[in-house]
Amino acid sequence: MLTKVFVSISLGAAVLTGCGNDPNTGTPDACVGHSCFIVDDPFPHATDPEGGQIIFEHMTFDTDLQGMFPLAGASTATRVMAYFMSAQTPESNPLPMPNICNNLEATKGWPLHVGAVHTDVDVGTLTLIGKNAAGAAVSFDVPRGTGPVDQIGRPHDIFYQLFQPTAADLLKPDSFYDVKFGGSAAVAATTLQRALYLPAEYSSVQNPGLEDNGPLEAGVEFPVAWTVGNSANKPPDTELVGNTILGVTWLLDVTGSPTHMCIAPAGAQAFTIAGTAITEYKTIAAARGQRTDKLILLRSAIAHQLDRLPLTSATTGKRRIDMLSLECWAQLMDVR
């Protein structure tokens, strides 16, 4: 079943706290964090209540994962996952912290968790518009999902998702995409221009290489590394959460559901996973009824932009959409 492995999130979604902006000048400090985003109205900012996400991914898989999932002989894929909300309790979920591996189960944090009480909204058709790897114009719809949960297990009444092998057919790294809502009673028909910026691919990943299998050992630090690509066309730093392209390392169980999110600037080109995070992974995987001797290691470059959800009702307030564009490298690893 193709569901949860393509999390990267999501998955990533890379959100940080703990360093600030000068609200009078709008000049960011040298930091990596949500509060580094310019917060002057009318711009959306990371302290707005959550209004949903678009997770937009270019994914590269190792041979093990290519064999586990129906990629039609391809080694890459496009994955899009989206949902939108007019209400949630709590209004926002806890944000992960920089420079550590955040245990998303322990914190019940963004982006894995959604409020148990929330109101999903229909945006009509959801269309992404940009270019593919050959430079040809592309416009593709993201269909409504089916079932009670999305690809990473979050409960929604209304959500959208797409998975298509061969990323080059739809995606061009280091380029922008417009987001078009067809509109509904709850959401105005809207085109959000240049709402998604897909970063340049990592040139390579090292320690481990993409085809290496570890192992990761409980209680033992595990350093990872990558070679950052040249995101020459990226938005101004002030339009990116964290004022930079983020480098996020994820630990996922074998279904693809994340347990840990480890955040640094992509330009750091390295991160050390704490041994305690690997111990925690084994505990979480066991509690979920999943294998404890395997995990999916995912390294991603993330551009995190913000937009406002164009709700038709003024009573629902200003809600942010987290626009998360990821270049991901995913591999199956042994765990001891």
Show pLDDT as tens, one digit a residue, over the chain (336 residues).
333 333 333 333 333 433 333 333 333 333 343 333 333 456 788 889 999 999 999 999 999 999 888 798 999 999 999 999 999 999 999 888 999 999 999 999 998 889 989 999 999 999 999 999 999 999 999 999 988 988 888 889 999 999 999 999 999 999 999 999 999 999 999 999 999 999 999 999 999 999 999 999 999 999 999 999 999 999 999 999 989 999 999 999 998 889 999 999 999 999 999 999 999 999 999 999 999 999 999 999 999 999 999 999 876 778 999 999 999 999 999 999
| Euclidean distance between CA atoms 223 and 238, whole angstroms | 30
Domain ranges of the chain: 4-334
Residue 232, Cβ neighbours under 10 Å: how many?
7
The count of C-alpha atoms lying within 13 angstroms of the C-alpha of 3, restricted to the half-sphere facing its C-beta, is 17
The pLDDT assigned to 313 comes to 85
pTM of the model: 0.86
- Are 189 and 183 in contact by the 8 Å Cβ rule? The answer is yes
Token code pair at residue 86: 């007019």
The pLDDT assigned to 17 comes to 35
State phi, psi for 334 to the nearest 5 degrees: -85, 150
246-258 as b/e: b if 16+ CB within 10 A = bbbbbbbbbbbbb
Among the listed residues 313, 311, 315, 327, the one whose alpha carbon sits nearest the alpha carbon of residue 52:
311
End-to-end CA gap in the chain: 26
The pLDDT assigned to 42 comes to 64
| Euclidean distance between CA atoms 179 and 280, whole angstroms | 38
